[in-house]
Amino acid sequence: MLDRAEVDALFPSDLPEVAHWEQRYPPRQLPADAAVTRFCPSPTGSLHLGGVFVALLDRALARQSDGRYLVRVEDTDQEREVAGAAREFDRAFEHFGLTPDEAAGTGAYGPYLQSERAQIYLSHVRELLRAGRAYPCFATKEELAALTDEQRAAKLPTGYYGRWAPWRDAEAELVRARLAAGEPYVVRFRSPGEAAGRVSYTDVIRGTITADDNRNDVVILKSSANALRLPTYHFAHAVDDHLMRVSLVVRGDEWISSVPVHLQLFDALGFERIPYAHVAPLMKQDGKAKRKLSKRKDPEAAIEYYIAGGYPTDAVLYYLRGLANGRLAELPLDQALAEPLRLSECGVAGPLVDLVRLEDIAADLIATMSNEAILAAVLDWAGVYDAELAAAIEGNRERVLRALDIERVGVANPRKDLRKWSDFRAVYGYFLPELFELVSDPADPRLGGLPAEVVQALATDFLAGYQHVNDSDAWFEQIRSAATANRFAASPKEYKADKESYVGSTKEAAQIFRVLLTGSNRSPAFHLVTQALGEPETRRRLSAVLDA
């Protein structure tokens, strides 16, 4: 074991003592039951829907208890860091209204990027080395691989422990010699765990958990060959959670197996243990089986899927809250968003992500929104993801508002075919002249295969007497008049009885006008569509086949 002077020589001479950090980050002055929570994304990839699920819990638990919610970016794995990932986190938090009370740029317990907290970690690593609770390890990657191979051959648990930890009890002279030679080393935690030891702790969601105690001498400080000495997650999170005065850690259940080593680190550092709440992962139905929602396999696992798709924010939040606490899924949206979330109601089985259910929720929500609110939301979305649509809407605001009235305003069961903002082009795009492709070919197959001259004659006669009326019966009577003048039977039954005398029925004639107006065989009632379009645009579309 190195003496204090030798340990201190491994660190900058001006490195503060641990007491300095305790004074700089004093206990928070909050109500006794206030929760201080943190969400800690790693910028090694896009944000997972499960991350927003945990962040939603973190924020709600802090806010409803008059506590604090902070975001700390865990960027110590800099080799795997993805450029722009941290900015994506900020954008996602803002989009879903999950902005933290404290984060990079705000808050008295920062920095909130782990890469900027190197001095803090070094002070605490030095303290463990001084106390003999940590030690330098010079084992190379090749030596570690050889040890693992031996353990596997002997059918023993792999890891750095016991006789498989050659530097744990190395002679001080050998350590000094390696240091003097400038050989790179990591700092390992001297685990107090025993081979057959067991540990029990209380998980806030899962109750008492008993597991094998940790006996691995885990790395707590990465290689001295690195220009920036950064810790591993295990060590950094313990130091940060203590100094940021976090009082509740909510995280995914993949960390359950790491709890024994985390508890050892808290004890060795002299910190009070912080309660953990391990959340079950979001799941996906895959055939007859369920599996974890995967960013590699499932596009809907990435939070950008929901932002780029234009899912209404409140619909997503309502849906996630319902996954967390089932009782909320049965409440009206506004009430469910205001109700407290409870860890005691979080299940231990992973909730199933069902996009059909989410889209139903979104459709119900959009059906209750005012035209102006929908227009604003679509413009916000399109301004980023569909510039052509945004420009077309800006040039046709009144027409869009009239189109949104159709079968939505003043009816008992408003239409629900708009489920997300990216649907707007498909559902309402035909109302926008800049986006609508005129049906100018009288032989277009959408027109039912009728002879081109019949289609043109029908359109000509209809336009000759067209009245721009806002009445369904009057509008259809105009179709009937033009149709009967052009050898269309008054009804499908009449046409079926004497096909030689007719080219079709008024049903086929109506479909011609529907396609000319909307480009589709399905649409709302003619008088509603044409009132939204306006008379000039209606005439332009109906006359397009006459120029062929």
pLDDT by residue for the chain (548 residues), tens only, comes to: 789 999 999 999 999 999 999 999 999 999 999 999 999 998 877 789 999 999 999 999 999 999 999 999 988 877 676 777 778 888 889 999 999 999 998 999 999 999 999 999 999 999 999 999 999 999 999 999 999 999 999 999 999 999 999 999 999 999 999 999 999 999 999 999 887 789 999 999 999 999 999 999 999 999 998 878 899 999 999 999 999 999 999 999 999 999 999 999 999 999 999 999 999 999 999 888 999 999 889 999 999 999 999 999 999 999 999 999 999 999 999 999 999 999 999 999 999 999 999 999 999 999 999 999 999 999 999 999 999 999 999 999 999 999 999 999 888 889 999 999 999 999 999 999 999 999 999 999 999 999 999 999 999 999 999 999 999 999 999 999 999 999 999 999 999 999 999 999 999 999 999 999 999 999 999 999 999 999 999 999 999 999 86
CA distance to 143, 150, 152, 381, per residue, from 155 (Å)? 18, 8, 5, 56
Residue 90 pLDDT: 87
User: What b/e string do you get for 383-418 counting C-beta neighbours within 10 Å, with b at 16 or more?
Assistant: eeebeebbebbeebeebbebbbebebeeeeebebeb
Residue 113 sits at φ, ψ, to 5 deg, of -110, 125
Q: Find, among 390, 346, 400, 429, the residue nearest to 534 by Cα.
A: 400
Q: What is the Cα–Cα distance from 242 to 236, expressed in whole angstroms? A: 10
pLDDT tens figures, 63-74 = 999 999 999 998
State which H helix or E strand residue 199 sits in. strand 198-203
Residue 323 pLDDT: 96
Q: Under a CB-based contact definition with an 8 Å cutoff, are residues 407 and 414 in contact? A: yes
Global pTM? 0.90
pLDDT tens figures, 337-377 = 999 999 999 999 999 999 999 999 999 999 999 999 999 99
Q: Which residues pair with 201 in a beta bridge?
A: 209
- Neighbour tally for 287: CB within 10 Å: 6
Residue 220 sits at φ, ψ, to 5 deg, of -115, -20
Q: What is the Cα–Cα distance from 247 to 52, expressed in whole angstroms? A: 20
Which spans in 340-451 are helix H?
A: 355-368, 371-385, 387-394, 397-405, 424-428
- Neighbour tally for 447: CB within 10 Å: 23
